[in-house]
Amino acid sequence: MFGRLVKFAWRSVWKNRRRTIITGLAVGLGLASMMFTEALMSGMSTHMISQTTMSWMGDGQIHREGFRETGRITLTVNRPDSILAMLEADTSVTAFTTRIISPASLQSTMEMKPVTMIGVDPATDPGLSMLEAAVDTGSYFSGDSTDLIIGWKLAQDLDATLGDVIIITAAEADSGLASSLFFVTGICRFGSDVQDRYSAFVDIGLAGSMLGLEGEFHEVALRLTDIEMGRDPALPIWSRYSVFGNSAEGWAELASQVGSMLNMVNMSMMITAIILFGLVVFGIVNSLFMSVYERMYEFGVMKAVGTRPSALATMVVLEAFWLGVVSILIGTVLGILIIWITSKTGLDFGMIEVSGVIFDSAIHPITDWSRLWIYPVATLLLTTLAGIYPGIHAGRLNAAAAMRKSL
């Protein structure tokens, strides 16, 4: 009997072809938009993480304990040679670079601005940051120790341009003040105020000698074999380098605002899912009730000839199941199509900055194919469950009342 009810329900679903297709499209569109939203959010998350780690931070960093909180220039990485030797030998570290970071003031002929002076290693930094790629006027470090790269906003603030002389003044490690003369050789455009307005990049060698920190550094940025390693602070790599009074952290801890953003993204995904699935349920319930009311007489006859209320309810639930099947077929095909097209073309939001992360290129939705089944299965489950209420209603119909037109 159940097999016949399944067949009966399938045919009943197609009795009103137009309504089935419209309902299938409505639910399918909801499903497709869920799949697309998740892919887009996944693409945005990946983009955020990638931007965070590729633009400057790396997949993780090593500092002297307390440096990140205080910024004191005396807090350089302890036992730097040992740390560098360990990094050289570590197969999970594909690249690393050292940096000196110090507050400083920049003085042009016109203006003076407070900035963070960052000493970078021109040989290794390109593997860890986008500084070289961000230089859009002038050139990257040429090997001359007086080279200075500043952001385009800082250049505007200082009224400085390529070739201009800039004097950098910073506190030495032994509490004195040191000043050096630099020439603007490159103007960069990161898209973030942190780099474009408040940072000045110089050769690490000169920064070290200027501050009395030769052979020392404040930060080591790491590139790892797997970016996801930066998400998990429990991995042994972080404890391995948290030695000698140093502290090693992955990007998730270093850029906690990114973690918060990702949590927010997940939360908004959940809210979107609840709203869309709610609409799906109401759509299905509405469609089934229309079908039940349209076929009142038919249900009356079914009851009259001996169909039990439970069998009638089962048939309506099965109709909901079939509506769900039609809907997920439409939705899955549509969803995959939309994701596939947008993953090829990307979605360009223009250059925007969110929580310090720059979206400077198109976002490409990313689908985790192993999760692709979740939304269609959830939709099918929900649509089937949505059939229970109209099913119970149909089961409880009074046969005589249902057929009143005839009997």
Using CB under 8 A as the criterion, which residues of the chain lie in contact with another protein when the complex forms? 1, 4, 8, 11-12, 14-15, 297-298, 301-311, 398-400, 403, 406-407
Cβ nearer to another protein, comparing 79 with 396: 396
Q: Residue 21 Cβ, how far from another protein at the closest point, in Å?
A: 17
Q: What is the token pair recorded at 167?
A: 């004097």
Cα separation, 31 vs 280, in Å, equals: 9
Cβ nearer to another protein, comparing 199 with 314: 314
Cβ nearer to another protein, comparing 133 with 311: 311
Q: Give how far the C-alpha of residue 69 lies from the chain's centroid of Cα atoms, to the nearest Å.
A: 26
Give me the torsion for CA of 65, 71, 74, 76, rounded to 10°: 50
Cα separation, 69 vs 203, in Å, equals: 24
HSE (CB half, 13 Å, CA atoms) of 63? 19
CB distance 168 to 200 below 8 Å: yes
Residues 6 or more apart from 296 whose CB is under 8 A from it? 397, 402
Per 3-state DSSP, the chain is made up of helix, strand and coil in percentages (nearest 5) of 55, 20, 25
Helices 296-304 and 309-345 meet at what angle, rounded to 10?
140
Q: Residue 39 Cβ, how far from another protein at the closest point, in Å?
A: 38
Q: Residue 19 Cβ, how far from another protein at the closest point, in Å?
A: 14
Cβ nearer to another protein, comparing 233 with 309: 309
Q: Where are the beta strands (DSSP E) in 300-378?
A: 352-354, 357-359
Q: Residue 367 Cβ, how far from another protein at the closest point, in Å?
A: 38
| DSSP symbol at 36 | H
Cβ nearer to another protein, comparing 22 with 304: 304
| DSSP symbol at 55 | I
Cβ nearer to another protein, comparing 10 with 289: 10
Q: Residue 1 Cβ, how far from another protein at the closest point, in Å?
A: 6
Cβ nearer to another protein, comparing 4 with 371: 4
Q: Residue 15 Cβ, how far from another protein at the closest point, in Å?
A: 6
Cβ nearer to another protein, comparing 6 with 265: 6
Q: Residue 389 Cβ, how far from another protein at the closest point, in Å?
A: 19
Q: Residue 396 Cβ, how far from another protein at the closest point, in Å?
A: 9
Q: What is the token pair recorded at 377?
A: 């299965």
Residues 6 or more apart from 366 whose CB is under 8 A from it? 39, 42, 43, 46, 343
Cα separation, 292 vs 306, in Å, equals: 18
